Amino acid sequence: MKKTSLKGSLILLLVAFLWGISFVFQSNATKYMDAYTILYLRSLVGALTILPFMIYFLKKDKQNNIKSKKIDLIIAPILCGIALCLSSIFQQIGLETVSAGKTGFLTSLYIILVPLFSLFLHKKCGINVYISIVVALGGLFLLSFDFKSGFSFSSGDLFVLIGALFFAIEILLVDYYSNKVNVFYLSFGQLVFQGIVSFLIRLILGFDVNAFINMINVESVISILFIGVISSGIAYTLQMVGQKEVDPTVSSLILSLESVFSAVSAVIIYQFYKFSNVNQNMSIEEIFGSIIMFIAVIFSQLPSEWFKIKRKKNEEV
């Protein structure tokens, strides 16, 4: 099992915060652009953001004689890109028929899928981490579930769950490859792959130049630049840096705080700027859910040795 470091955990906490606050800008962008346009534009901006850093650190690796296997350099960005792209696409398809709150809850179920997949890969965590997963699920339920509408399952829900599955796979792939190839190269590669695939889908569905020009305005440009530079470029790269030092199951728990940060930031920003027609104020259940999730993540960071049962060996007389 990979030993979790405080530095890596704090980096992933920053990633969750950046992803969370980016929700406001992503929500604002959907007023002007379709999902695939947002996806390939943010991927392009993110890749361009990382490009100079990738060139610099690849040169530095060469000077320090740090080499990666050619097969890893080819396969790593493709596999991570496929997982990330499919996760984003299926989530967006689900969002067409599923509420944002329910989507947030279903997507965050990757905190169950990551440890489940990890067990098959013979990666075990401390008992406190598994307890934290259960507690976090309770917090997510309060944060995301619509108590007025009740619970129902549709084809849209299935698409969102498939998206969560692919994001869990992306987390495990990053955990595996982040120590094998340069993280800037890996982040750049997966964004380029995601951008190409989403652009091709947009072309297949139809690309109208005039419609694209009409999408361009101050608000949409600011939104794309923010989610491209901050959420895609910086955050995805920091995710890989943090996961180099943190167990994937713990990583998924920390990253799940994205839903908390998105809810809190939406409430704060909504008071000053109505970026959405949907009321962003949090209910009592959502506030308690956020608090419970924070407690769960903190609990997961406690040393696993504290929860081990010490057994005394009987000495033979």
**All structural domains of the chain with their residue ranges:** 6-302
DSSP 171-204: HHHHHHHTTTS-HHHHHHHHHHHHHHHHHHHHHH
Confirm if 204 and 93 have CB atoms less than 8 A apart.
Answer: no
Pick from 4-8, 22-26, 215-219 the range whose average pLDDT is largest: 215-219
CB 181 within 8 A of CB 61: no
pLDDT class for 316, splitting at 50, 70, 90? very low
Q: Report the percentage of the chain scoring pLDDT > 70.
A: 81
pTM, entire model: 0.79
C-alpha to C-alpha distance for 184 and 58, rounded to whole angstroms: 8
Could you give the angle at which helices 248-255 and 284-300 cross, rounded to 10 degrees?
Answer: 160
Q: Which of 5-19, 157-171, 282-296 has the lowest mean pLDDT?
A: 282-296
Is the pLDDT reported for residue 317 higher than 50?
no
pLDDT digits (tens, 9 = 90+) for 241-277: 998 888 888 888 888 888 778 777 777 776 766 655 5
- Kindly report, residue by residue over 144-167, the tens digit of the pLDDT: 666 676 655 567 778 878 988 998
For residue 153, the model assigns a pLDDT of: 57
For the chain, give the mean pLDDT: 81
Comparison of pLDDT for 60 and 140, the residue scoring more: 60
Q: Is the pLDDT of residue 117 over 90?
A: no
pLDDT of 298 > 90? The answer is: no
Q: Is the pLDDT of residue 286 over 50?
A: yes
